[in-house]
Amino acid sequence: MNKKWKITAISDTHNKHKQFDGFVPGGDILLHAGDMTGRGYKKELENFFKWYDNINNYDHKIFIAGNHDFGFQDNPEEIKGILTGYKTIDYLQDELVMLGEGDYIDMVKIWGTP
């Protein structure tokens, strides 16, 4: 099959993610590689989740927590519980997601570890 994937990767937005409005071009995968907040407070994380969830020009939206996203370390169950309300985004914590169809070789494989 050999599909060509359009992947956008961002990171270290530190509560300034809204400055990306209009600059994420759209495609197959949007990957935020961590540090979406300043200190990982619940309010900061909820703000990011809401923004990320509302991006509608990607087929898949994935993120990984960074070293500033303390909520995932300090209150993991509470934060993961909040995430269940956002059906269009996937959080990876020591796990693999495989995207695509067909042979294993044609799939995109992303392993996420905070």
User: What is the per-residue pLDDT across 24-44, written as a single tens digit (0 to 9) for each?
Assistant: 999 999 999 999 999 999 999
pLDDT value for 46: 97
Which DSSP string corresponds to 70-104?
THHHHSHHHHHHHHTT-TTEEE-SSEEEEESSSSG
Closest CA to 25 of 63, 66, 64, 55: 55
Domains of the chain: 7-112 (3.60.21.10)
User: What is the per-residue pLDDT across 54-89, written as a single tens digit (0 to 9) for each?
Assistant: 999 999 999 999 999 999 999 999 999 999 999 999
Q: How far is CA 27 from CA 64, 81, 112, in A?
A: 19, 28, 20
